[in-house]
Amino acid sequence: MGDTERITVRIPADKLTALQELVDKGKFPTISDAIRAALDSFVEKHFTPEYIERITVELPKGNVVELEALVQEGDSVSIDDAIRNAVREYVRKRLNRAMEEMK
């Protein structure tokens, strides 16, 4: 994990309960890991370069399973990468179609 610092943070009991539920459901190994993931997400959201716009997409479970399969097969390095590739290909096809229609 590299160099780390310890801090103390007070959070409401309901938030602690929610974090513990995530751990109990196996989403994170520990509450600390859940908090670190939340901090990573927060920092990524607020410190993304200006030329990149972050979009959150909610997908049906079946689509997520299909994306995970692409990653396991080596077609993409991550689910995010698979989505970026799909969007890039979609935009490329739409632009090509629009260019053809303009001729």
pLDDT 10s digits, 13-41: 999 999 999 999 998 999 999 999 899 88
1 pLDDT tier (thresholds 50, 70, 90): low
- Based on the fold, state whether residues 72 and 28 are members of the same structural domain: no
pTM above 0.75, yes or no: no
Domain annotation covers residue 95: yes
Q: Which domain holds residue 77?
A: 55-103
- pLDDT tier for residue 43 given thresholds of 50, 70 and 90: confident
State the pLDDT at residue 90: 92
Q: Measured at the alpha carbon of residue 32, what is the angle toward residues 29 and 33, in degrees to the nearest 5? A: 50
Count of domains observed in the chain = 2
Q: Show the tokens assigned to 90.
A: 């979609």
Instruction: Tell me if 3 is assigned to some domain.
Output: no
3-state secondary structure the chain: CCCCCCCCCCCCHHHHHHHHHHHHCCCCCCHHHHHHHHHHHHHHHHCCCCCCCCCCCCCCHHHHHHHHHHHHCCCCCCHHHHHHHHHHHHHHHHHHHHHHHHC
Residue 61 lies in a domain: yes
Q: Is the dihedral of CA 70, 74, 78, 81 positive or negative?
A: negative
What per-residue confidence (pLDDT) applies to 8? 92
94 band by pLDDT with thresholds 50, 70 and 90: very high
**Cβ atoms 83, 90 nearer than 8 A:** no
